[in-house]
Structure 1
Amino acid sequence: MKEVYILQIETATPDCSVAVSKNGVCIAEISGASPNMHASHLTVFVDEVLAQAGISKAMLAAVAVSMGPGSYTGLRIGVSAAKGLCYALDIPLLAINTLDAMLAGFIGQGQTVVGADSRLLPMIDARRMEVYTAVYDQQGNVLAPTEAKIVDETSFGTTGDFILFGSGADKFVPLFEGQEHIRIVTEFHNAAGHFSANAYQKFEAGLFEDLIYFEPFYLKDFMVSTPKKR
């Protein structure tokens, strides 16, 4: 069996993470969550994770990148780096939906809070009470598509079993206090290793992106704010 090494880059969330997978299994990973780390550490992480995996760039079969939704700046940094590597190495680019990756990581951690009828909502912070999210069942089927959602105490009704996790979920702990049908798993961190299986499946299926025309899935346009006058 041919060994397929894929470099995986995750910069859509506050975490900057790089991993290497071999035939769909993560074999090396480096992550950090310091402010502005995407710009300052991404290329360093790439070199370090390759050394950790014991391979060279020439051995890579593809680069997989988290395509969004997520941070506008983070996505641009990650996709630009991934494209640059693909051009230099003449290898294909794979794009992974960030929420799909978060779901895979959450389920892969064997979360005991998941019930047979649980609805899983990975959430990426979009400031204030807004998040990027989608709704999945425990098999990974999409029940509600990706959206920018403003959340309040009535967002999920009064019945059902909803599990919220990710950088956008932690801020809702006080909001849903006392609503037993809504559970929030705090301090879940997304990581590049979470999309190893998905990246390998896409590689085997030949689902490659066009290096010239591919753009991240921003979901919302970048808004430039004007500083307030003092």
Structure 2
Amino acid sequence: MLILSLDTSTTVCSVALHQDGTLLGCYELFIERTSSAMLTSLIDDVVRQTGFTLDQLDAVAVAMGPGSYTGLRIGVSTAKGLCFALGKPLVAVNTLAAMAEQIRGFYPADTLLCPMIDARRMEVYCAFYDTAGEERIPTKAEIIDADSFGEQLAQHPVVFFGDGAAKCRAVLGQHPQAIFPEQAVTPSARTVGKLATSLFASGQIEDPATFEPFYLKDFMTTQPRKAVV
């Protein structure tokens, strides 16, 4: 089972190739803006350098969000284009679930994992997972204040991580049950592909014609200012 995975949910643009759940190759760019050309180049590189061709893929996986509106559009559009062109199925993976997969083996069983993606002002996109990878609280947009996550912190140690965790640390950093890892955790196709392997094996695929990213919130635009004459 050969799966190509893409993640452009945030400023990290990453592509990975897995065979039967084993990582064969991964390319990541830590840049401010992802472009379709950059992503296409990474796809070509990871497939070629691992000795495969696109025709040999069994499926294409993509981080579905939440995250950057523009980044998600690029990643999902590219994944759908590959699926149509190659006649391959599409697998969608929640970005926060893939982030939790990166660290879940490092904490005791009673710990909750709360990956966070920065939104606007004091808002984050977050979800809660246990150390077995099971979702405990679904993905939501949360405005961080002193009362945030009180119920969870009263019952479990909670690990807050991702680029939105700094907002949480400023408010909850002194809580005895709140844990903030020093090592940065960013979305990556490495764990998107790992989770996609299980989803694909269990028949959880998407229709490329109708699938849309999980934006969580509507895209906000600003009106251009009128020129002053």
| 1:95 maps to amino acid | A
| Structure 1 residue aligned with 2:179 | 183
Structure 2: 5+ residue runs without aligned partners?
none
From 196, 203, 208, the counterpart of 1:199: 196
| Structure 1 residue aligned with 2:22 | 25
Question: Do structure 1's residue 145 and structure 2's residue 130 form an aligned pair?
Answer: no
Q: What secondary structure does 1:174 align onto? A: helix
Is the 2:7–2:192 contact (alpha carbons within 8 Å) kept by the matching residues of 1?
Answer: no
Post-superposition offset of 1:75: 0.6
| 1:116 maps to amino acid | A
TM-score (norm 2): 0.91
Post-superposition offset of 1:129: 1.0
Large movers: runs of 4+ above 3 Å: 227-230
Question: Do structure 1's residue 167 and structure 2's residue 163 form an aligned pair?
Answer: yes
Post-superposition offset of 1:6: 0.7
| Structure 2 residue aligned with 1:135 | 128
Structure 1: 5+ residue runs without aligned partners?
none
1 CA distance for matches of 2:35 and 2:110?
Answer: 37
Equivalences, count? 223
2 CA distance for matches of 1:155 and 1:178?
Answer: 13
RMSD of Structure 2 on Structure 1 (CA): 1.7
Question: Do structure 1's residue 82 and structure 2's residue 79 form an aligned pair?
Answer: yes
Is the 2:158–2:179 contact (alpha carbons within 8 Å) kept by the matching residues of 1?
Answer: yes
Q: What secondary structure does 1:26 align onto? A: strand
| Structure 1 residue aligned with 2:38 | 41
| 1:142 maps to amino acid | E
2 CA distance for matches of 1:203 and 1:182?
Answer: 35
Post-superposition offset of 1:218: 0.7
| 2:82 maps to amino acid | L
Post-superposition offset of 1:79: 0.5
| 1:118 maps to amino acid | T
| Structure 1 residue aligned with 2:112 | 119
| 1:208 maps to amino acid | I
TM-score (norm 1): 0.90
Deviates more, 1:159-168 or 1:94-103: 159-168
Is the 1:170–1:185 contact (alpha carbons within 8 Å) kept by the matching residues of 2?
Answer: no
1 CA distance for matches of 2:5 and 2:146?
Answer: 36
Post-superposition offset of 1:37: 2.6
Post-superposition offset of 1:165: 0.7
2 CA distance for matches of 1:81 and 1:161?
Answer: 39
2 CA distance for matches of 1:172 and 1:227?
Answer: 32
| 1:181 maps to amino acid | Q
